[in-house]
Chain A
Amino acid sequence: MERDKNFVLGVFEDEDVLLEAVAKVRGSGVKIHEVYSPFPVHGLDEELGYKRSKLPIAAFLFGMLGTCLALTMQFYMMKIDWPMIIGGKDHAGLPNFIPVTFELTVLLAAFGMVGVFMITSNLKPWAQPRIFDLRITDDKHVMAIDLATNAAVGEAQIGDILKSCGASEVNKKSFE
């Protein structure tokens, strides 16, 4: 069976039931593809065993790039390309450059972080979103389980596990 095509969906009404269900499902050896919820559920990341996001590293690197870019730009403009005397100060007076450096650091860190987030989360403008269940934007939590990665357990047994964990519905969803 092909991966990432056929899913079993467990629909949950309550986030506390969901949290316990995630632990039980993972405990029974079933690998969860993803859990979708209409609002952030505290502790869900830990239950799913997700590692911490590496996004802050991207933010730091883009921030550093902004700092370097701003300082280079200002030194080039004010010292090399067109030296001007302003208020009797040195052409390359570092304190003068700090406000612009700060702003460009923040700007590039923010834009870089948003850009990296969109690319890594498949939020590109041309990306085709896969909707598992429309109600995840309203009042239902949905746990998606990939059938291909859990072939050893089998569809019927996954459904039973979900039911026993408190899922209000168990559905099947296939993507082309």
Chain B
Amino acid sequence: MAHVSNYNLDQKFDFTASTKKALFIGLGIGAVLLILGILMAIFGGGDHGHAEEAGGHAFHWYQRLYANLWINNVYFTGIAVIGVFFFAIQYAAQAGWSAGILRVMLSLGNWLPIAAVLMIVTFFIANHDLFHWTHSYLFDKDDLEHYDKIIDGKGSFFYWPMEKGTFPIFYIVRMFAFFGIWIFFFNKLKNLSFAEDDLTGSHNWSVIRKWSAIFLILFGITSSISAWDWVMSIDTHWFSTMFGWYVFASWFVAGLSVITLITVFLKEKGYLEMVNENHIHDLGKFVFAFSIFWTYIWFSQFLLIYYANIPEESVYFVERLSSDVYSPFIFVNLALNFVLPFLVLMTRDAKRHAIFLKVVCSLIILGHWFDFFLMVQPGTLGHNGGFGLMEVGMLLVFASAFGFVALKSLAKNKLVAKNHPMLEESYHHHI
């Protein structure tokens, strides 16, 4: 009978020059499109006069750049932390099937430190352009024209214990805390997993399981609150009690798609021989199931708001559905994230063959980018937003950089957790 020890378990991913070149070409095309988009926004800004008449605020080209930075920051931070989250899930659930692809999940987490720097820097540069609540005049009771009672009521959530409208210390501390917790647990789990390569027995497995369980509890809290902080607070007046779940679901499907794509990519390059179509099938099932989970959450939020029709809630969808700029993307979002995976990944054969998964996962990654695009742009840019060269360019830059970081980390250490106690079980996984 075949055993997993017949394979070369010490293999490392060879990050070849051609793979690097492909990623740099992606990055280069993205950068060129981004710069073209910025130039077009600077010189073509026909909307300026119109915006000044309508809103009182002049619209500047860099606001669109900041909004794009924020969309991709939040999106790729989520994908990175989902890698760590899915890794922790495998241990907490004592899962055996996934032992061969644990390192792929872990590799996504390497983006987290970069994401932390980008997110914090972007917030300090762009806070007034992205977040309405950062304007101090909203909290000034003497300023009758600008004082906002509702935002004043929510002010402590950002400014406590400082005075409202000054420095959002509570918000900043939370942002540092989220990244601090995620990066700490990522490093802890990574070090324990790599240390296991020189050990035998199941001691490290038990230790990782303990740390995973603690991480999962903290992730449940931090993922939800980060969604309120980074995304929901853009539409400061509006609220949804499902928002944490909604953002998590979007992150999770996108993260699973990235894990699947990297696994399929590694297999095509001849790595991970002990991972076969049964494991690919399970990853496909995860992508399929959680696409439907995302749809369920999206629709639950929509249906309740639509049916109750309370003005302060329904404004969120009115802003999007009645807008010439954003309404088509609502349907693009549902088509790419629900209809496509539901119909294409329904059969067993589609989930077991790389070609279907490659097409569907790539489109899902794009689709969930549109989901975040729809969460961020209407509240920050209004009718000045849209899907143009700047959006495509920024997404390409982030995706290429993310891919580079993940693959580089895979090249550094062994691709397979060779002393994982359930590696043999994983090899014989059969569905």
Given A43-B430, A87-B309, A88-B309, CB of A52 within 8 Å of CB of B303:
no
CB distance from B37 to the nearest CB of A (A): 35
In the complex, are the beta carbons of B303 and A60 less than 8 A apart?
no
In the complex, are the beta carbons of A42 and B430 less than 8 A apart? Answer: yes
Q: Mark B291-308, 1 if CB is under 8 A from A, else 0.
A: 000000001001100111
Kindly identify which residue among B299, B307, B309, B348 contacts A52, using a CB–CB cutoff of 8 Å.
Answer: B348
Do A95 and B309 have beta carbons less than 8 Å apart? no
- In chain B, positions 267-304 with a C-beta closer than 8 Å to chain A are 299, 302-303
Q: Mark A88-101, 1 if CB is under 8 A from B, else 0.
A: 11000001101100
- Let me know if A98 and B307 touch, CB within 8 A: no
Q: Distance (Å) between the CB of A154 and the closest chain B CB? A: 33
Whether the pair A99, B303 counts as a contact (CB closer than 8 A) is yes
Could you say which interface size class chain A belongs to?
10 to 19
A98 contacts which chain B residues (CB < 8 A)?
299, 303
In the complex formed, the residue of A with least CB distance to B349 is: A52
CB distance from B418 to the nearest CB of A (A): 25
B346 proximal to A (CB < 8 A): yes
* Chain A residue nearest to B346 in the complex (CB): A60
Indicate the size class of the contact surface on chain B. Answer: 10 to 19
Q: Are B307 and A96 neighbours in the complex by a CB distance under 8 Å?
A: yes
Bound-state Cα–Cα, A52 to B347, Å: 12
Residue of A nearest to B296 (CB): A102
Contact at A87–B303, with CB atoms within 8 Å?
A: no
A:111-139 near B, CB below 8 Å: none
Contact check, B347 vs A56: say whether CB atoms are below 8 A apart.
Answer: yes
Distance of A90 from chain B, by nearest CB (Å):
11
Quick one: closest A residue to B302, CB to CB?
Answer: A95
Given contacts A42-B430, A43-B430, contact A95 B347 (CB under 8 A): no
CA distance A99 to B299 in the complex (A): 10
Residues of B within 8 A of A99 (CB): 303
Q: Which residues of the other chain, A, contact B346 by a CB distance below 8 angstroms?
A: 60
Task: Point out the residues of chain A lying under 8 angstroms from B308, CB to CB.
Answer: 87
B327 to chain A, nearest CB (A): 15
Query: In the complex, what's the smallest C-beta–C-beta distance from A18 to chain B, in angstroms?
Result: 15
A95 touches B303 (CB 8 A): yes
Please provide the chain A residues from 22 to 44 with a CB less than 8 Å away from any CB of chain B in the complex.
42-43
- Kindly provide the distance from the CB of A105 to the nearest chain B CB, expressed in whole angstroms: 12
Bound: A126/B309 CA distance, A? 54
What B residues does A89 contact at CB under 8 A? Answer: 307, 309
Rounded to whole angstroms, the CA-CA distance of A53 and B1 in the bound complex is 28
Q: How far is the CA of A99 from the CA of B303 in the complex (A)?
A: 9
Residue of A nearest to B306 (CB): A95
A4 to B303, alpha carbons, bound, how many Å? 57
| Inter-chain contacts of A87 with B (CB < 8 A) | 307-309
Chain B residues with Cβ below 8 Å from A96 are 307
Nearest CB on A from B341, distance (A): 16
- Closest Cβ of chain B: how far from A23's Cβ, in Å? 14
Give chain A residues whose Cβ lies under 8 Å from the Cβ of B309: 87-89
Q: Chain A nearest CB: distance from B349 CB in Å?
A: 9
B322 to chain A, nearest CB (A): 16
Q: B429: shortest Cβ distance to chain A, in Å?
A: 10
Query: In whole Å, how far is B139's beta carbon from the nearest beta carbon of chain A?
Result: 36
CA distance A108 to B7 in the complex (A): 47
Contacts of B307 in A (CB 8 A): 87, 89, 95-96
Type the 1/0 row for B397-431, where 1 means its CB is closer than 8 Å to any CB of A: 00000000000000000000000000000000010
The A-contacting residues of B in range 345-390, CB under 8 angstroms, are: 346-348
| Bound CA span A52–B348, Å | 10
List the interface of chain A (C-beta within 8 A of B).
42-43, 52, 56, 60, 87-89, 95-96, 98-99
* A–B pairs, 21, beta carbons within 8 Å: A42-B430, A43-B430, A52-B348, A56-B347, A56-B348, A60-B346, A87-B307, A87-B308, A87-B309, A88-B309, A89-B307, A89-B309, A95-B299, A95-B302, A95-B303, A95-B306, A95-B307, A96-B307, A98-B299, A98-B303, A99-B303
For the complex of A and B, 3 pairs with smallest distance between CB atoms: A42-B430, A95-B306, A95-B303
**New A-B pairs, 6, CB < 8 Å, besides A42-B430, A98-B303, A99-B303:** A43-B430, A56-B348, A60-B346, A87-B309, A95-B299, A95-B307
